[in-house]
Amino acid sequence: MLDIKFVYDNRDLVKENIKKKFQDEKLPLVDEVCAIYDEKREYQMKGDKLRENRNKLSKEIGSLMAKGDKEAAEKIKLQVKAEGEELSKLEVKENEVEEKLIKVLMNIPNMIDPSVPIGKDDSENVEVERFGEPKVPDFEVPYHTDIMESFDGIDMDAAGRVAGSGFYYLLGDIARLHSAILSYARDFMIDRGFTYAIPPYMIHADVVTGVMSFPEMEAMMYKIEGEDLYLIGTSEHSMIGKFKDQHIEKEKLPITMTSFSPCFRKEKGSHGIEERGVYRIHQFEKQEMIVVCEPEDSMKWYNILWKNTVDFFRSLDIPVRQLECCSGDLADLKTKSCDVEAWSPRQKKYFEVGSCSNLTDAQARRLKIRIKGEKGNYFAHTLNNTCVAPPRMLIAYLENNLNADGTVSIPEPLRVYMGGKEKLIPRYNSITVKKK
């Protein structure tokens, strides 16, 4: 959420930002919010005059009472009472206007960073850099669920009977591999100085609206019927919510945390994701990173965060690339964002496995997360990034570590979590990798 004074004083700049995000339907919101702000200031000025006059009259009452002129004092008391009632009505109107102001402000997108490429949607995102050499083996790489089934490692039919589409059972070595990747990610981030956390998996509505835009909320969140609770779509939601209404001592910054949680998503309106297998699912686990920091440090932390993900994937022999999100692909609260995409030897292309975002003070304004500084309080900056999110990450892992005989190599960092195994051996020789 933008500062209303910034919007009021920079209307053309805010409108230009909206145009760069290809959200022209939101242009009228700028003038609307400025008009509401004028109305709010009018009520404030009237209220201030009434308060000033009431204080003045109260002093007169005291003076008259001291002189023994009770009759005159009583008349002024009636005037004070009348003005008090008028002030109460004004305060109600002022609160109503304030609520209306915030509601409109929350629909105006955050200012994008000047470095963000301009584009309508994710098809115009820009590749920045590749890490590791993408390779296509000289044998046919099966679909990821076929690889998992060769290890008797997945059962989507049973999950469909139990919960419907978008769910899965992971079994045996594949389930163990899934847990191993998350355990390694936890320790990887702890070794980089992040504090490990396991957060609540449900949050109140005011936290949801504090961390994300209304369209995102509608597309992602599952509501618990009869409760003021939502299942989290990512642990970023509850981790940033941890600091709601807090004044953080300047000396305690930056706050860097890595959190594990299951994630629950409707996946409403998702596109460009394969329907089969575990590409598009309603439940998964994720190791996340969040940072709360000084405003001047947020871009430095943005670069640290996405590079952590690159380093993690490269340590598991998975080629990746960084993809800069264009203006039209940025969610409303984000000022800058990039995806880390992993190489798929089967598809011969990259696909998203993580997303890093700098939200500047957008979440902090909504959640009232302030820094207690020497010259007063001010809003913090918040950032988040995916370290790893299996089971989709399993797709990249299995494809890039698959051997011609159907075995899957286990890189050194994972072996301690896999009982020392160096390879996974398929149970079913009938599902072996076919030569091209």
Task: Determine the structural domain holding residue 136 and report its residue range.
Answer: 122-424
Same domain, 169 and 242: yes
Residue 134, preceding peptide bond in cis (omega within 30° of 0): no
Domain membership of residue 370 (yes or no) is yes
pTM of the predicted model as reported, rounded to 2 decimal places: 0.89
Same domain, 81 and 165: no
Same domain, 127 and 100: no
* 169 DSSP 8-state letter: E
Same domain, 137 and 169: yes
Q: Of 105, 140, 167, which marks where a domain is finished?
A: 105
CATH code, 144: 3.30.930.10
Q: Of 51, 70, 105, which marks where a domain is finished?
A: 105
CATH code, 31: 1.10.287.40
pLDDT of 273: 46
User: What gap in Å lies between CA 126 and CA 327, rounded to an integer?
Assistant: 11
Same domain, 92 and 134: no
Same domain, 284 and 333: yes
Residue 254, preceding peptide bond in cis (omega within 30° of 0): yes
Asked if 279 and 249 touch (Cβ cutoff 8 Å), the reply is: no
Same domain, 81 and 185: no
Q: Of 46, 79, 105, which marks where a domain is finished?
A: 105
Same domain, 207 and 340: yes
State the angle between helix axes of 11-20 and 27-67 in degrees (0 to 180), rounded to the nearest 10.
150
Same domain, 414 and 368: yes
| Integer CA distances (angstroms), 239 to 152, 244, 312, in order | 36, 10, 21
Give the contacts of 411 (CB within 8 A, at least 6 positions apart).
315, 316, 317, 401
Q: What is the largest CA-CA distance in the chain?
A: 109
Domain membership of residue 136 (yes or no) is yes
Q: What is the mean pLDDT of each run of 10 residues along the chain (436 residues)?
A: 96 98 97 96 87 80 79 81 82 91 95 98 97 94 95 95 93 97 98 98 96 85 95 96 97 97 80 66 95 98 98 97 98 97 96 97 97 93 96 94 95 97 85 53
Same domain, 204 and 328: yes
pLDDT of 271: 46
Same domain, 238 and 364: yes
pLDDT of 216: 83
Q: Domain total for the chain?
A: 2
Consecutive H or E run containing 187:
helix 172-191
Domain membership of residue 36 (yes or no) is yes
Asked if 253 and 293 touch (Cβ cutoff 8 Å), the reply is: yes
Same domain, 44 and 135: no
